[in-house]
Amino acid sequence: RNPITAGMHQGICYAVIDLGTQPPNPKSQYQKTERKVLLMLELPEERATFERDGVQVDLPRALSKEYTLSLHEKAGLRKALVSWRGRQFTADELKGFDLKNVLGANCMLNIVHNDRGYEDIHGILPLMKGMTKRAPENELVLYDIEDRNIPATIPEWVRKKIAMSAEHQQATSHREDEAAPMPRDEFGDDDDDIPF
């Protein structure tokens, strides 16, 4: 295994995946179900060869970070977004914010190796002055838990997490015409762009 070097790396968010309401993490002291979201970010300077549709392709390596889907002032997602933007949200921005706005957004990732030697994202910051924004090389993915058709571009390990969600379990336990409505996320449907 060849870990990504610790330190600062340019990153691009290419996937925002609604994981739904996840069961409690057995390793956490807080045993509660929470609505989760996964951000996937590619690192254009860190390359690897992957097989895609039977063809070897050179693509950026990627890391992901899971957050509780909340914009409460103490929530990890809000702290990460404030750090990424380089400024606080106004009340109006919070009210209309749509997480899809981070798709394609560039950032700096502070990567730290954990005690098992795996990479963790320990900070998301704006690009440094003078750096060039880059376009993502991976196809952009936006997934809402209400969509029962999980895109094939979502990795298998993420698909398994989605399958564990309360929303997915509920949908698969009912016939299509009896399915209960899924809860909407708390960010609303306002399409106003928030600059990143």
* pLDDT greater than 80 at residue 115: yes
Could you tell me which residue, 188 or 114, shows the higher pLDDT?
A: 114
Query: How high is the pLDDT of residue 180?
Result: 41
pLDDT tens per residue across span 84-111: 999 999 999 998 899 999 999 999 999 9
**CB-based contacts of 14: which residues, under 8 Å, 6+ apart?**
40, 41, 42, 62, 103, 104, 136, 138, 139, 140, 141
pLDDT band of residue 192 (cuts 50, 70, 90) is very low
* pLDDT greater than 70 at residue 174: no
Cβ distance 123 to 83 under 8 Å? yes
For residue 185, CA distances in Å to 19, 35, 36, 162, 175 come to 11, 9, 10, 15, 23
pLDDT tens per residue across span 139-152: 999 999 999 889 88
DSSP 96: H
For residue 31, CA distances in Å to 26, 46, 189 come to 7, 36, 30
What is the pLDDT of the chain when averaged over all its residues?
86
Cα distance between residue 68 and residue 78, in whole Å: 10
DSSP 172: H
pLDDT band of residue 3 (cuts 50, 70, 90) is confident
Cβ distance 124 to 83 under 8 Å? yes
Query: How high is the pLDDT of residue 177?
Result: 44
pLDDT tens per residue across span 32-61: 889 999 999 999 999 888 887 888 988 999
Cα distance between residue 193 and residue 104, in whole Å: 13
